[in-house]
């Protein structure tokens, strides 16, 4: 069978050596069994297998047939496809090293707000754009942003007063807002600069995008 690759958490997220498909499937069966607090004996009996065979499957020492996997899935009351989830590789991922976000020109740029795009979704019905926004002494206030979707902001540094609709919120490091972005919003007072905050905008992707 073909190999798959796994993330080695013990080495800081680097890519480890290839992991055999049998081992990945076996580990997932074992995880599902333990999650349901079943012993090897209980699962083997429910699936019509010997304990020795189930042990070999869980440790990746043998390659189970589809019929055997179907029996195990039925005994665990999970979809057969769940055994293969650990072998799937994500096709939509963005990695942006520190300080390398892409500078973006948005409406607030005219008020001296600096935007760095940290990633961008390319699949699915939902568009998600995370930005790192920086305000400094050259920045002005701009509280009339309006756009479709939902927005989440999280303050990392500095202190600002942020407007949403007819309400204002004083925000400092660790504070967050999550709101409907169709209402007017944005920083209306800059209290402690420089200020940086994370802004994540989620919108429904338009047909053809």
Averaged pLDDT for residues 118-145: 86
Tokens of 68: 């055997």
In 3D space, the residue among 158, 163, 162, 113 whose CA is nearest the CA of residue 138 turns out to be: 113
Residue 106 sits in the same domain as residue 199? yes
Residue 72 sits in the same domain as residue 162? no
Any idea what the CATH number is for the domain that residue 72 is in?
1.10.260.40
pLDDT at 12: 39
Q: Quick check: is 96 in a domain? A: no
Q: What span, in angstroms and rounded, lies between the C-alpha atoms of 125 and 207?
A: 9
Residue 83 sits in the same domain as residue 129? no
Averaged pLDDT for residues 43-57: 94
Any idea what the CATH number is for the domain that residue 139 is in?
2.60.120.10
DSSP SS3 for 167? strand
Which of the pair, 39 or 1, is modelled with greater confidence?
Answer: 39
Q: Quick check: is 77 in a domain? A: yes
> Model's pTM, two decimal places?
0.55
Residue 13 sits in the same domain as residue 64? yes
Q: Quick check: is 161 in a domain? A: yes
Q: Which range of residues forms the domain containing residue 9?
A: 3-87
User: Residue 18 — very low, low, confident or very high, per pLDDT cuts 50/70/90?
Assistant: very low
Q: Quick check: is 26 in a domain? A: yes
Q: Quick check: is 94 in a domain? A: no
Q: Quick check: is 190 in a domain? A: yes
* Last residue in a domain, options 55, 87, 119: 87
- Environment class of 47 (CB within 10 Å of its CB; exposed 0-12, middle 13-18, buried 19+): buried
CA distances from 169 to 7, 10, 134, 185 (A): 41, 41, 18, 11
pLDDT tens by residue, 68-126: 998 999 999 988 877 876 555 555 666 778 877 777 777 777 788 998 888 876 566 78
Q: What span, in angstroms and rounded, lies between the C-alpha atoms of 203 and 129?
A: 9
Position 8 pLDDT exceeds 50: no
Residue 190 sits in the same domain as residue 131? yes
């Amino acid at each position: 069978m073909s190999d798959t690759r796994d993330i080695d958490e013990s080495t800081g997220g680097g890519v480890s050596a290839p992991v055999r498909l049998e081992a990945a499937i076996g580990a997932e069966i074992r995880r599902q069994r333990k999650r349901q607090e079943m012993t090897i004996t209980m699962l083997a009996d429910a699936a019509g297998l010997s304990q020795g065979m189930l042990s070999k499957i869980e440790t990746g020492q043998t390659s189970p047939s589809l019929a055997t996997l179907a029996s195990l899935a039925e005994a665990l009351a999970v979809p057969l496809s769940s055994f293969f989830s650990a072998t799937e590789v994500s096709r939509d991922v963005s990695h942006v090293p520190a300080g390398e976000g892409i500078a973006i020109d948005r409406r607030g740029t005219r008020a001296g707000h600096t935007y760095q795009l940290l990633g961008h979704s390319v699949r699915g019905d939902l568009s998600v754009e995370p930005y790192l926004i920086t305000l400094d002494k050259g920045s002005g206030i701009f509280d009339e942003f309006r756009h479709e979707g939902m927005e989440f902001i999280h303050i990392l540094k500095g202190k600002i007063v942020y407007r949403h609709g007819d309400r204002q919120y004083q925000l400092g490091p660790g504070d967050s807002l999550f709101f409907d972005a169709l209402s007017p919003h944005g920083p209306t007072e800059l209290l402690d600069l420089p200020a940086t905050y994370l802004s994540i905008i989620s919108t429904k992707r338009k047909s053809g995008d």
